[in-house]
Amino acid sequence: MRRFSWLLFGSVLLGLTVSFVSSHADDPPKDKAAVDQKAVDDKSKADAKRDEDYELMRLFADTFEQIERNYVKDVDRRQLIQAAIRGMVTQLDPYSNYISPEELKRFNQEVEQEFGGIGIQVQMDQKSKRLMVMTPLPGTPAYKAGIKSGDLIMEVEGKSSEGITLEEAVKTLQGKPGTEVSLGVQHAGSDKIEQLKITRALIQVATVLGDTHKPDDSWNFFVDAESKIGYIRLTHFGRRSAEELQEALDALKKEEMKGLVLDLRFNPGGLLGQATKIADLFLESGTIVSVKGRNTDNRVWSAEKEGTFSGFPMAILVNRFSASASEIVSAALQDHKRAVVVGERSWGKGSVQNVIELESGASALKLTTAQYLRPSGRNIHKFPGAKDDEEWGVGPDADHKIEVTQQEMQEYLEYRRQRDVIGGAGPKVEFKDRQLKDALAYLKAQLAGEKKEAAKAP
């Protein structure tokens, strides 16, 4: 259909050109001959292109037929086609990929931030070879049933969970809201197995997190209560991220927040629309991001004053794993001098992918269709072979470059995991977060400067 539209548009242009030439009787005959020859040449090129497409598709069909008919053992036709599609997209770039029917459900869950289940995070316990609960999610059926961090799931639907894989566990524990699942749970420090019947519900996974949990297990969004400095972590950009962030900011504003740390470390990105909405929460005007594509309309997103959270200094934390939508937000706030960026240079993903439905929505193609530029017009994308001294990614502001070693990164992730556990004893060891420390120092200096200026004012 797309090729048909292009050819139709080309024929209309050609008709206008011929009409224009024929309406000028004084034009030399050779001009009409040149136009006619061009039309013949264009048709020849189109015919050659069509013939080439036909030959390539015949090559594919012949290869498929030979494998199916003569390979040493039977092959699954669908697996062959899926492998061929994956082979095509891997030739494009690292971010385009085919999403099979089996993978599409999980992909949609990540984007939509919701699924039917009981609301726990699990991992394999190497000692018992059973599922161990990392933490229940607040307010979920598992949380209400009394499941806690460190509990072992010994049985699922009356069957031993020994040797079960995480993938199998997810398939079993998730299900239609309102349905029941039976679990045999061994609480930490107990030898008994408690039989529980838990009714699944629609679980909404939060992407906006704080630093610690309050006594009621909700997030505390202050990292320094005395200085009134807020702290918000954004894990990825899902369907409700902007809404979640606004709720957290409203709560901080009521408690008279003076400064804010927005932590985008390890955030791989997500929905472009959510990135522009989140940047707009902190900017009153100006360009947020511009997008340019080969077969898509160029577009510019701009900030609007209404609903802006302003009047306080900000610091954004990024590291080498902050990518895509994270880079859109950090670049926009940095270019407009709304926030200082602290940490390491970001990943460098300046491309946009569209999710195109295949098989009437049963599978999908995630295809790179455009690239985006930061408000300053500078490039974000790290092209293959790009060097460290070239322009890509979002770099920290001057004097705020805080690089960490791989060991420090692993220690931080473990520290953060333990700190996020609901009802846990807290991290076993303290971790000195140098990047967060730098951000706090900057914000406190800004607040101290504002106080001095206020004291000078008549």
d(CA 256, CA 115): 35
Query: Do 346 and 391 touch, CB atoms closer than 8 A?
Result: no
Distance CA 247, CA 232 (A): 11
**Could you tell me the two tokens for 301?**
């997103």
Q: Of 96, 149, 161, 324, which is the active-site residue?
A: 324
Q: Round to whole Å and give the CA distance between 148 and 151.
A: 6
Is residue 197 among the annotated active site residues?
no
**CA dist 213 to 204, 216, 366, 422, Å?**
18, 8, 37, 7
Judge contact between 380 and 348, C-beta under 8 A: yes
**Whether 250 is catalytic:** no
Both tokens of 338, joined, read 């709304």
Tell me if residue 121 falls in helix, strand or coil. Answer: strand
Around 253, how many Cα atoms within 13 Å sit in the side-chain half-sphere? Answer: 12
Among all chains, which residue has been given the structure tokens 């070693």?
Answer: 405
The question of whether 349 is a catalytic residue gets the answer yes
How far is it, in rounded angstroms, from Cα 259 to Cα 446?
9
**What's the rounded Cα separation, in Å, for the pair 155 and 161?**
5
369 phi, psi to nearest 5 deg: -120, -10
CA 130 to chain centre: 31
Element (H, E) at 261: strand 259-263
Catalytic entry in 148, 258, 277, 349: 349
DSSP 191-228: ---EEEEEE-EEEE---EE-SEE-TTSPEE-EEETTTT
The one catalytic residue among 335, 420, 433, 438: 335
- Determine the distance from the C-alpha atom of residue 97 to the mean position of all C-alpha atoms in its chain, rounded to a whole number: 15
Orientation angle between helical segments 29-70 and 77-90, nearest 10 degrees: 130
Whether the CB-CB separation of 410 and 424 falls below 8 Å is answered with: no
Active site (catalytic) residues: 324, 335, 349
